[in-house]
Amino acid sequence: MIRSEILREIAPILRDQLVVCNIGIPSQELHAIDDQPSNFYMLGTMGLASSIGLGLALAQPKTVIVIDGDGSVLTNLGTLPTIGNNAPNNYILMIIDNGSYGSTGDQPTYTGMKTDLAGMARAAGSDNVVEVQDVDTGKALQEAIDAGKPTVMVVKCDSGNAKMPVITMDPVIIRDRFMKAVAS
């Protein structure tokens, strides 16, 4: 499976949750598959989805699901110790690890070689790290939500992108409707 197929499959689970979605094609795919006010789409700033989601989870009690990527986490590796030492029970970081920089032309990342993000997350202090194959994502995500513990999921899948339109929604509107969904 590629990322868009996973997103399509887990869309019914994501719909009722606060979702912070990674920059580029992941946000375009989620937006096209199931746009919700409770989705925060990153339009820029590679690497910070996990940090934005962590700040959000620490500030309020609702479950926060971060949809991140291997390339994006690699660009902000300092996030893993911060998560490992501070993540609250309502925080789920789901790293879609397709071993490539999807938004820029599927150049390989190091996670397709020797680098193991799950091992890095564990070493950085996360106690609940789950390695999942693409087909099992929905089940594992639901389990993480039900467990109510800080969880890092590393979802292994194939490299590739669906052709989706660029998000043209104004960022202030994305942010404003998201904040209303958080506060509701």
Does 113 participate in binding other proteins (rule CB under 8 A)? no
Instruction: Choose which of 76, 115, 128, 159 interacts with other proteins (CB under 8 A).
Output: 76
Does 63 participate in binding other proteins (rule CB under 8 A)? no
Residue whose CB is less far from other proteins, 15 or 175: 175
What is d(CA 18, CA 133) in angstroms, rounded to the nearest whole number? Answer: 23
Look up residue 63 and give its two tokens. Answer: 């479950």
Nearest to 38 by CA among 13, 1, 71: 13
Footprint (CB under 8 A) of other proteins, residues 19-48:
20, 40, 42-45, 47-48
Query: Which residues lie below 8 Å from residue 63, measured CB to CB, with a gap of 6+?
Result: 17, 18, 57, 90, 92, 145
Instruction: Choose which of 27, 51, 72, 100 interacts with other proteins (CB under 8 A).
Output: 51
Residue whose CB is less far from other proteins, 76 or 159: 76
Q: Minimum distance between the CB of residue 56 and other proteins, rounded to whole angstroms?
A: 4
Q: Minimum distance between the CB of residue 160 and other proteins, rounded to whole angstroms?
A: 26
- Contact call for residues 72 and 103 (beta carbons, < 8 A): no
Residue whose CB is less far from other proteins, 54 or 144: 54
Residue whose CB is less far from other proteins, 113 or 172: 172
Local structure of residue 52 (DSSP, 8 states): H
The structure tokens 């598959």 sit at 33
- Contact call for residues 91 and 52 (beta carbons, < 8 A): no
Other C-beta atoms closer than 10 Å to the C-beta of 8 total: 16
- Residues found near other proteins in the complex (CB under 8 A): 20, 40, 42-45, 47-60, 76, 78-79, 81-82, 86, 171-172, 174-175, 178-179, 182-183
